[in-house]
Chain A
Amino acid sequence: MSDNQYQLQVITPERIFYEDDVTMVTFKTSEGEIGVKKNHIALTTPLVSGLMTIKYNGSEKKAALHEGFAEITPEQVTILADAAEWANEIDVERASEAKARAEALLEKDSPDIDTIRAKAALLRALTRLEVSHYQGEK
């Protein structure tokens, strides 16, 4: 293990999504995008739906993260997400449908719909579509 690597754990309620040594991970927090290298200051922060990129040994892995929070310490990063998917696990058709559905809901703008929920659903769908562009890459 080279000196600039640290342990990354990505855990969802359904499974342990990723657990290995990495050199860098980037993901989206409620305050904006963040890239974490070794010896990062200890930090706990909520996540929003977005693309996660894992870099290790010169190669990259992309995945979608859907809400949760991250706990960063200088030698370990733990991401607890509600859901996580690798690029090639994403069902593009379903994501497009979900996007259209959420957009239609938001357009109506009636007071009885849950705007926050619709927005979150839209963001999830957009993230899935974004990440799905990396399908086929290893």
Chain B
Amino acid sequence: MASMREIKRRKSSIQSTKQITNAMKLVATAKLQKAKANAEETRPYFKRTMDTIGSIIHKSRGITHPYLTERTVKNKGYVVITSNRGLAGGYNMNLCKLIMRKESDKEQSKIIAVGKNGRDILKKNGYAIIKEYHDMVNHPSYRSAEILGKALLKMYEVEELDEIYIAYTSFKSTISHEPQLIRVLPVDVEQFEAVESEKHLMTFEPNEEEVLGHIIPRYINSLIIGALREAVASEHGARMTAMDSATKNASEIIDRLTLEYNRARQASITQEITEIVGGAEALK
């Protein structure tokens, strides 16, 4: 059995680890509340943008626009939103696994990394990282989404990439997050079909093509900002759960060590008494 002092030292070391994980849990909880509210604020904008695009596509059947037409795919781009910091359980790994499962052809897939953890994992697995935007995760603002959106459109226009996906962790609830992969470009026309039949005959000024060219970049920006904010909320949620279970594990170990310590203490007292009694017997 380990000595009393050794057990005591281990116990205090685990105690301080527990304090750290507990503090991290509290911080993540506070951040989660904010991130959750932020994620919800972008939804009305996103929904209206989708509705408007839907009604344009609905009204002008067979409209052709470079952002809508598919072409032969030589290079696929993946925007991968992960966290900059670790200690978030399986949050980063789950998302990277989704890409590795979906895309076994590493030659034609290019990664646009948002978040250092995802970049490191994918790099190690042999994927090419073409662009990095790590600051966005810390402060997901519409401005940063605009910058990324512009860069994506440019790469699509010069045919550097023929298809662009965005991979993020969607926030279902505090404890449930789901890695997701959605196509950004070319815009998937099918998903807009469900718009209710238009009551009004909509006019477009100056014309449909131009309005569409104006709206689609905004749709992509709002897609990005929505994904960013949900990913950030998921990150804090994942960290909170991870830190919660770490704190629980620490408590369990401390309980076990306390028991062991008491046993060791009892054993040493018993031994001392036996020694004293033995010594007294010998003196008789």
- Please list the residues of chain A having a beta carbon within 8 angstroms of any beta carbon in chain B: 9, 11-16, 29-31, 41-46, 68-69, 71, 73-74, 78, 80, 82-83
Contacts and interface: CB of A to CB of B under 8 A. Distances in A.
B211 A44 contact: yes
B225 interface: yes
10 contacts: A30-B205, A43-B202, A43-B205, A44-B52, A45-B211, A46-B215, A68-B218, A69-B52, A69-B214, A71-B48
A135 to B, nearest CB: 24
Interface string B41-79: 110110011001001100000000000000000000000
A13 B221 CA distance: 9
Contacts of A14: 41-42, 142
B218 to A, nearest CB: 7
A68 B146 CA distance: 12
Interface in B238-280: none
Interface in B151-206: 199-206
Nearest to B222: A13
Given A42-B201, A80-B218, 18 more contacts: A11-B44, A13-B142, A13-B145, A14-B42, A30-B205, A44-B203, A44-B205, A45-B205, A45-B206, A45-B211, A46-B210, A68-B218, A69-B52, A69-B214, A69-B215, A73-B202, A80-B48, A82-B142
B35 to A, nearest CB: 14
A31 B206 contact: yes
Contact of A41 (B203, B215, B222): B203
B203 A11 contact: no
A13 B45 contact: yes
A64 B283 CA distance: 101
Contacts of A16: 41, 44
A11 B52 CA distance: 13
Nearest to B52: A71
A130 to B, nearest CB: 22
Contacts of B205: 29-31, 43-45
B202 A12 contact: no
Contacts of B142: 12-14, 82-83
Contacts of A46: 210-211, 214-215
A18 to B, nearest CB: 12
